[in-house]
Structure 1
Amino acid sequence: MERLNRPLPPFAERVLDVVERIPPGKVMSYGDVAEYLGEGGPRQVGRVMSHWGGGVPWWRVIRADGTPAAGLEDECFARWRQEGTPMRGARADMRLARWDGRTP
């Protein structure tokens, strides 16, 4: 994974590795990813996703309130429907869809 012939920062590699492991139909918030890694925070995870997240299932990383990133809602909802992600209106149902990072 490279951008402009530069290697990814180690934190970005770790974030993208976690995102690649989120099962279909499940989501993690930006803060969940940071907490799972034990480093960074929601904003740092969001920055990684905005710069390098296009090659991973980005639609599985969302805001803590269950909403997708601004401007990506339509594609995100289509992917959630395809994967069977539990939803409540225009949000992922975080109670049912949140992945804890442990169970497959």
Structure 2
Amino acid sequence: MYKPFIVLSTLLLCQGCGESCATFANREYRPVEYNFVVRDKHTEEIRYNVIEGTNTKGKTEIFRQAGFDKMYDLAAPGDTLRKKAGDLTTYLIKKDRIFKFPYQCGGVSIY
């Protein structure tokens, strides 16, 4: 009789434990800046897409985020990955096209 109550209470408590996606995006992703030529890509811990490259100063830069699957699939060596600090949109620049990837929370783009 008490088991459904305990399960429901636990679920409600756990939902309040994590921060919202939008809060995370504004605190952690908005201030980050990327501007590099893609050199390599791989995944880590199944959920993280990692794209590595070299910036204009010759230093290695790493994009490591979850949820950017389409951008990860399209990225190829020689492409440019660019994101301005203060913005939530990341651009993948190819020789003939520019792809725009806004940050998404629950399938909804946020800017």
| TM norm structure 2 | 0.23
Higher helix share: 1
**Which of structures 1 and 2 has the larger relative contact order (alpha carbons within 8 angstroms, sep 6+)?**
1
Higher strand share: 2
Asked which structure has the greater CA Rg, the reply is 2
